[in-house]
Structure 1
Amino acid sequence: MKVYLDGQLVEEADAKISVLDHGLLYGDGIFEGIRIYDSNIFRLDEHLERFEYSAKAILLKMPWTREEISEAVCATCRANGLKDGYIRLVATRGKGDLGLSPWLCPVPSLIVIADKIKLYPPEHYEKGLAIVTVPTRRMNPAALSPAIKSLNYLNNILAKIEAQQFGALEAIMLNDQGMVAECTGDNVFIVHKGKIYTPSAQQGALKGITRDTIFDIAADLGLPIAEHDLTRYDIWNADECFLTGTGAEVIPVVKLDGREIGSGQPGPIFKQVLEAFRIRVRQEGTRL
């Protein structure tokens, strides 16, 4: 596999960064997960815009233009012959010293990895996931905005570990007020009486690119959709539930905390959304 690293395509074994890179030492950097479908990089411009917003939020001055980053992404896909898969775009603060100060890292690094990904076994896309609520709370947006796609994912990783300990593949994370924020790597949607609801960013949810796509799809299908504060009770008593994310795509949830959601099967609105999503991902974006 070829990896793009600071202007060069190198073999994976040769793709190395310094042990003094603050991305490694402190999680000081940003990333984007991007999908490619049938040689179409889905919503690449939107991902690159969010990448720039994350960089601005952490005062990471990137020396590359959006066009240069876009070409690096495309070149990495072409070098690996990747037509369907997952792209990880990373910018680290760069090499510094053992101190915390980011201004001692004068040159950031840009990394692009293009490969396959499987977050959940295929059968769960047909039958649905059984998930749990975990004790680890989503970090307060006043401490660290969920809009920043930071390299430090320890909050989510701890929740993922707890999900595994409970025998689940994914978990709901609550914020410190006990409201639903998101899952460990996905946004959460419910359907109640024909209307779609999802937590707002103010509750700790990432403004996901796939999440935004669901809003567009709902508008096209004439389905009412809104951001709304949600509790576990709301999910337990929802008619349907599904998760979205670049890696996960769109996947149904049929049980939370041992309680069946709706009929205990993927619902009709989820199926409409999924069908529309599968069409859209091959139409919107950047062709290789």
Structure 2
Amino acid sequence: MSRQIYINGQFHAPDDAKISVYDHGLLYGDGVFEGMRIYDKKVFRLAEHLKRLDESACAINLQLPISLEQLAADTNETVAKNEIVDGYIRLIVTRGAGPLGLDPFKCSDPQVIIIADSITLYPESYYENGLELVTASTIRNHPAALSPRIKSLNYLNNILAKMEGLKAGCIEALMLNHKGEVAECTGDNLFVIKNGRLNTPPIEAGILEGVTRNAVLELAREAGIETTELPMTRHDIYVADECFLTGSAAEVIPAVTLDGRKIGDGKVGPITQQLNKAFRELVRR
């Protein structure tokens, strides 16, 4: 069937789904978004995603044009109309159209766009054998310039780091913050396991507070695994027993090398496997 794209309460075929070329989302990356997983026709942790969307919009002084309740209903309708069983949904809110120039207060009519489709971020072999990572020279945005907690339409910071990784032969790259500490990868949060303890960088390290990240922390605590959220350097990854990444699109995916060095024994570790299994069971519940 042909996909149906939601724009401001109406559905359009992909070729007919259009917004103004004067929209600030296109011209300046002025807007916010959420990427969400669909499992068995339901959006995983929709309320948490919408809360983060609302907070991102608030942080850039963008008033959502409809309520969160209506956004939830429209998101679910988009999933149903596209007959998605397992897939991915992208919810976007732009500043709207205005004259050329940066002034956001001259914009009107924010655009709400919802796209539901299938997604395969990484081949299955990476989930079985693990990712190879490289450290990017492009650092995470300085929090005093643009807060990494805002999930904005401007992802150029991440894209530049992603290109570094790809050119180095790695599908994902590690990003450091302005202090030289571990932040996150180009699209995923990062975890390490050392001596049975699970650690991930704190929000203050300049990361996006991932919905999947929080779900994995909950699962680990329920399983009796000690968890910490503390600053890390690359040394902590080099000497870790295990490492994995989390994200809505990526889910839980192991990493087995960083900068050409094996993490642990260079294989997917048992706690990573345990949490990956627990997460897959969670989303089906």
Match of 2:259?
Answer: 257
Aligned twin of 2:12 = 10
CA contact (8 A) 2:165 2:172 kept: yes
Q: CA deviation at 1:40?
A: 2.1
Q: State the distance in 1 between where 2:121 and 2:161 align.
A: 16
Corresponding residue of 2:107: 105
Query: Percent identity at matched positions?
Result: 54
The answer to whether 1:146 aligns with 2:148 is: yes
Question: 4+ residue stretches of structure 1 with deviation over 4 A?
Answer: none
Q: CA deviation at 1:63?
A: 2.0
Are residue 96 (structure 1) and residue 121 (structure 2) matched?
no
**In structure 1, the residue corresponding to 2:249 is in which secondary structure?**
coil
- Whether the 8 Å contact between 1:40 and 1:282 is mirrored in structure 2 is no
Deviations 1:177-231 (A, max 9, x none): 1100000000000001110011111111110000000111011101011111111
Distance 1:242 1:85 in 2: 22
Q: What are the residue-to-residue correspondences of 1:99-248 with 2, within 5 Å?
A: 99-248=101-250
What are the superposed Cα offsets for residues 40-84 of structure 1, whole Å, 9 maximum, x if unpaired?
Answer: 211000001111001110110112011110111111111111010
Amino acid at match of 1:8: Q
The CA distance in 1 between the partners of 2:240 and 2:47, in whole Å, is 34
2: CA distance, partners of 1:49 / 1:252: 28
CA deviation digits over 1:65-123, x for unaligned, max 9?
Answer: 11110111111111111010000000000001111011111210000000011111110
What is the CA–CA distance in structure 1 between the aligned matches of 2:85 and 2:67, rounded to whole Å? 24
Preserved CA contact (<8 Å) 2:8 2:112: yes
Between 1:34-43 and 1:234-243, the stretch displaced more is 34-43
Give structure 2 stretches of 5+ with no counterpart. Answer: none
Q: TM-score, normalised by structure 2?
A: 0.98
What one-letter code is carried by the residue in structure 1 that aligns with 2:55? Y
Q: Equivalent of 2:63, from 61, 78, 86?
A: 61
What is the identity, as a one-letter code, of the residue corresponding to 1:59?
Answer: N
Task: Give the letter aligned to residue 27 of structure 1.
Answer: G
Secondary structure, in 3 states, of the residue corresponding to 2:278? helix
Q: Aligned partners of 1:183 and 1:265: how far apart in 2? A: 19
Partner Cα separation in structure 2 for residue 216 and residue 176 of structure 1: 29
Contact persistence 2:42–2:76 (CA under 8 A): no
Match of 1:278 among 277, 280, 285: 280
Contact kept? 1:141, 1:203, Cα under 8 Å = no
